[in-house]
Amino acid sequence: MQQVSFNVVDRSGSRSAELAEVNRLTIAGWAGRDQAAIEHHIAELAELGVKRPSTTPCFYRLGAELLTQAGQIDVVGVKSSGEAECVLVQTDNGLLVTVGSDHTDREVEAYGVTVSKQVCPKPLAREAWRFEDVSAHWDQLELRAYAVVNGERRVYQQGSVASLLPAADLLGRAPLAQGAAMFCGTLAVQGGIVGMADGDALELELHDPILNRTLRHAYSVRALPIVE
């Protein structure tokens, strides 16, 4: 079980603190709505040696203790990278949506996708919205990620969540009980998947153009040495 705390912002702009105890973590993979976009992401990962999934979407069960709201994560080596995703968290007070990163070891991914996800922390923002406040205009939400590599910042991911399966669809396939969290899929990257070295960072954003507000989180990587 992992405790996470959120500053919950409702549609009026008022804020409230909420503590959630997460005991189940699921990652929705290959969750694109557009088959062509799914194929593009599959092709990106195939270049890294990742095998094609047997079905899409698929749901990876991971340990909830991987969730972290820290500004730095430890990984082994320089072959891991993150992905901006909407994250749903079922709390005592209802369903929340925030932004997080499905940080993954790309070298390990070549022989085991589930294992590659389990070996890396999963960064999560400290601010969240109530799902009921965005569900009616879910497809208009926008995901963005900026990679800071060797001190240079560039757009890494950007686009509408309309290219991904709707949250309601994912919840229908994999319902969230109280205390459960789910990462809802990601967008194709711009310029190819990059491994993050020591000191590199990823900045995440989930923007709501209807209510004119943005959830943000940023984290850096501390790359631990691999001892042969």
C-beta atoms surrounding 172 within 10 Å = 10
**Domain span holding position 64:** 2-224
Chain centroid to Cα 213, Å, comes to 19
pLDDT digits (tens, 9 = 90+) for 183-206: 999 998 998 887 999 999 999 999
pLDDT digits (tens, 9 = 90+) for 75-104: 999 999 999 999 999 999 999 999 999 999
Calculate mean pLDDT across residues 36-40. Answer: 76
CATH value at residue 7: 3.90.850.10
Calculate mean pLDDT across residues 64-70. Answer: 98
In 10-151, where do the E strands start and end? 15-22, 24-29, 58-62, 67-68, 72-76, 80-81, 84-91, 94-101, 104-105, 122-123, 127-130, 142-149
Q: What is the percent of the chain where pLDDT is above 70?
A: 99
pLDDT digits (tens, 9 = 90+) for 106-142: 889 888 889 999 999 999 999 999 999 999 999 999 9
